[in-house]
Amino acid sequence: MDVLYEESAVNQKSKKAAKIYKILNVISWIVFALGILCALLFFTMFLPYFLTPLDSAPPEGVSVEDWQNQIAGGRGMAIFIIMQFVFFALVWFMLYTLKKRVNISYDYTFVSGELRIAKVFNINRRKLQCRIQPDEIMQLGDVENASYDRLRSDPSVKQVLMTPNSEPAEGKFFMYILVGGGGTKKLYILECREELLVNILKFVKRGTLESDYVMQEKKQAQNG
């Protein structure tokens, strides 16, 4: 049975996140350019002072004392430029790390039993996070149920968030997938429609769905 189902968990604050990303991106490029400038200054203007011995013969018309002061001053400026380069490099790395956490969304692709989860950075760049096979799935369910709380409190289970939102979008819910393999258990949290759960259930063994699961339509009717 061939099945293809796709959907995304889009950042509900994507407009604001996109603006923040643009600001961080512009600042990071400015910092990157300043870092490159520092590197060029060091190699073209100040590196020779490190390569010139302090007791070397001064150029014609320059006293030994002035020549030694010039070398010492050049080395001092070189150290200052190196410190500036390190500073800009650290700031760039910090901005680069922040950019990876801003305007994030997730794509879920279910292809005939295999669930592929990709992280999307600022809409245009995707990175595959994991592939989940049906025989790896130990339990499926709703985060709002007691079965999730029991799993979450288990110290041997590591929770992995695969959604950028703290609340599910309209028509969606937070589904958990308990995966075992390699001696570790991971509890993946997805923000999806019930159709994804239904498609996964076609490929997993009976009893994988939590016993306290309530269909989303029925749950909404009860809560309404």
In-domain check, residue 36: yes
pLDDT-above-90 percentage for the chain: 56
Average pLDDT (42-49) is: 82
In-domain check, residue 135: no
In-domain check, residue 178: no
Give the global pTM. Answer: 0.75
Average pLDDT (69-88) is: 87
Range of the domain at 69: 14-99
Q: Rg of the Cα trace of the chain?
A: 28
Tell me, letter by letter, the H, E, C secondary structure of 92-134.
Answer: HHHHHHHHCCCCEEEEEEEECCEEEEEEEECCCEEEEEEEECH
In-domain check, residue 75: yes
Q: Is the pLDDT of residue 19 over 80?
A: yes
Between the alpha carbon of residue 18 and those of residues 24, 69, 104, the distances in Å are: 10, 52, 9
In-domain check, residue 144: no
Closest alpha carbon to 110 in 42, 197, 205: 197
In-domain check, residue 84: yes
Q: Is the pLDDT of residue 1 over 60?
A: no
In-domain check, residue 74: yes
In-domain check, residue 201: no
Q: Is the pLDDT of residue 169 over 60?
A: yes
Q: What is the mean pLDDT of the chain?
A: 88
Average pLDDT (198-215) is: 91
Confidence (pLDDT) at 5: 92
Q: For the chain, how many structural domains are there in total? A: 1
